[in-house]
Structure 1
Amino acid sequence: MTEVNNSDELFADVNGITLCYQTFGDPKGKPLLLIMGLATQMIHWDPRFCQKLVDQGYWVIRFDNRDIGKSTILHDQKKPTFFSVAANQFFGKKLHVPYNLHTMASDAVALLDHLNISTCHLVGVSMGGMIAQCVAIDYASRVASLTSIMSTTGDRALPKAKNAVILKILQPPPKEPKAFLQYSLKLWKMLHGKHFKFDKQKISLLLQHARERSFNPDGVWRQTCAILASPDRTQALHYVKVPSLVIHGDADPLVPVECGIATAAALENSELLIIKGMGHTLPEEAWDQMIDSIVKLAN
């Protein structure tokens, strides 16, 4: 088994909140910031994935976004109602939210400031890809390269997940740990798809760990609303000049592959990698292909 060289969980008071983060490798390496997606914590970046990047000369940082994991949970912030979200989606009514994706991008940059990192390579998955795009848009000088995985531009005209998938995602998770695990496993398997092996034992341990670190459905809903309230990034992405990589699975049931294709088209200096059979997870069998592409881009 590959030895993983990582720090303890650390905390940074930035941007009016506290972010929990962890580093892998030597701080003298090339900084690479990993940004995780909706409802997922930094632990969903597998340490062995992080170590593979370390082995390529990177100093890797992963962190919990606001409202998830051990970062600040915004209990005092109101969450938008389901009806206000429905009015936003169907009638275009403005959605009032405590923060949006650009706020979360400023969190990431504040963490870079805390770590005295002037520029870094960005890798974001799903919502994390959206946040990484916002960093590249709002803080261009801080980004050495951009990798957006299974993400989208925010263009509402792009294909959407099937209704059955959306309903499953929006279903409130059970509070009881055993029921939560059963619910989460079914959801994860649906997102993972049938092409790559589904390691039930490994995923069960990860989900149990995540449940023990943080159980905060209200925060997940606020994150969801942050996505919905953020503007279409397509035009702004045309002005992003840094080397960019878009990775997407052709079997993604949540963010259809057309969204990845549109993201690559919006980025002037981009490459597109479509992985056959990949859904909306990061299957271990595809790690080397992803990392090889990230490293090629960043060098």
Structure 2
Amino acid sequence: MSDAPLHLEYESLGDPSHPSIVLIMGLGMQLMAWPDSFCQALVARGYRVVRFDNRDCGLSGRAPGKKRANLLLAMAASALGLPVRAPYTLDDMAGDTIGLMDKLGIARAHIVGASMGGMIAQVLAAKFPRRVLSLTSIMSTSGNRKVSKPTRPARKVLLARPANPKDPESVIEHLVEMFGVIGSPGYPSTREELRSRIGKSVRRAYDPAGVARQLLAIIASGDRRKLLRTIAAPTLVIHGADDPLVPLAAGRDTAQNIPGASLQIIEGMGHDFPEALMPRLAQAIADHCDRRVAAPNAA
């Protein structure tokens, strides 16, 4: 693990004097993966919204060193219960979020994380309880490998590579295929919509080595169930009923291991943020945050 400071690219939306919601995105996904409509809906509910690129992603800083992550070796070691060496862990990424909050003068915030971001949010809520007003974990997992296995098609597309990793068009086509598999069957995006959205992301930044290091951090961090049982923040777990990448069982397991957590299952939702679901997701999260603000001794 490294304690060296690094740059985090971020956007702050809404009135800085309002209660803050900090959004933590998933594996290899940039801040723009939090849809504008979703963020603006939270702003309209009276919140300041902060979204950012995790380390090793987007326009944020990269981990030092050029050694390529050996994911197969790491997965084999993890399966055998052996320690996994990594440049950093989810604990470090939780620390990044706290550092950003410090920079922005945010003493306490509602923490919302998706997929890997949900894992980071869980660690943050457990390790920094005084900084967390509430926790929302979306399409994520406790690290329990028994309930976190993707479907065969999802695993295959996740491990596939672009035909030409150096060609942006090839990368875009590869990612369009991937989201076509892991996306929401009840709220499908057209191929044109996917190409437009993914194209903007790839042209902004694309770093497969950084994604590999993030995945290594997940593997090295292991099972978090024991840690989750220490979380005291009011917690909402949101999971798609049709998620092929992180199955619903993982969402149920996450909620079962966080004391007092509530679980909201969304039919037709996969492992993405379809535009049609943004009003519902924003309302669920804002309602959850509102309950924390209105609760006795919430300050």
The verdict on a shared fold, with TM-score over 0.5 as the criterion, is: yes
Structure 2 gap ranges (5+): 291-299
Q: 1:44 aligns with which of 17, 33, 38?
A: 33
The alignment covers a number of residue pairs equal to 286
1 CA distance for matches of 2:98 and 2:193?
32
**What one-letter code is carried by the residue in structure 2 that aligns with 1:277?**
G
| Secondary structure, counterpart of 1:157 in structure 2 | helix
1 CA distance for matches of 2:258 and 2:71?
33
Q: 2:187 aligns with which of 169, 191, 196?
A: 196
1 CA distance for matches of 2:193 and 2:61?
27
2 CA distance for matches of 1:86 and 1:50?
35
Q: 1:291 aligns with which of 282, 293, 298?
A: 282
1 CA distance for matches of 2:276 and 2:172?
24
Structure 1 segment 266-285 matched on structure 2, within 5 A:
266-285=257-276
2 CA distance for matches of 1:184 and 1:85?
24
Q: Does 1:34 align with 2:23?
A: yes
Q: 1:49 deviation in Å?
A: 1.0
Structure 1 segment 20-169 matched on structure 2, within 5 A:
20-74=9-63, 76-169=65-158
Q: Does 1:246 align with 2:246?
A: no
Contact 2:185-2:242 within 8 A present in 1 as well: no
| Secondary structure, counterpart of 1:196 in structure 2 | coil
TM-score normalised over the length of structure 1: 0.91
TM-score normalised over the length of structure 2: 0.91
Q: 1:260 deviation in Å?
A: 0.4
Structure 1 segment 210-221 matched on structure 2, within 5 A:
210-221=201-212
Q: 1:269 deviation in Å?
A: 2.2
What is the match of residue 297 of structure 2? none
| Secondary structure, counterpart of 1:17 in structure 2 | coil
Q: Does 1:170 align with 2:142?
A: no
Contact 1:42-1:63 within 8 A present in 2 as well: yes
Query: Which has the bigger relative contact order, CA under 8 A and spacing at least 6?
Result: 2
1 CA distance for matches of 2:237 and 2:71?
32
Q: Does 1:16 align with 2:8?
A: no
2 CA distance for matches of 1:281 and 1:189?
10
2 CA distance for matches of 1:25 and 1:44?
18
Higher strand fraction (1 or 2) = 1
Contact 1:15-1:107 within 8 A present in 2 as well: no
Comparing 219-228 and 190-199, the one that deviates more: 190-199
**What one-letter code is carried by the residue in structure 1 that aligns with 2:82?**
K
Give CA-to-partner distance per residue, 1:42-86, whole Å, 9 cap, x none. 011111110000000000000000000000122525233144224
Give CA-to-partner distance per residue, 1:151-183, whole Å, 9 cap, x none. 000012224112332232122333212211111
| Secondary structure, counterpart of 1:245 in structure 2 | strand
What is the match of residue 296 of structure 2? none
**Runs (4+) of structure 1 moved beyond 6 Å?**
none
**What one-letter code is carried by the residue in structure 2 that aligns with 1:251?**
D
1 CA distance for matches of 2:80 and 2:152?
18
What is the match of residue 10 of structure 1? none
1 CA distance for matches of 2:36 and 2:279?
14
Q: Does 1:231 align with 2:222?
A: yes
**What one-letter code is carried by the residue in structure 2 that aligns with 1:212?**
R
Structure 1 gap ranges (5+): 1-13
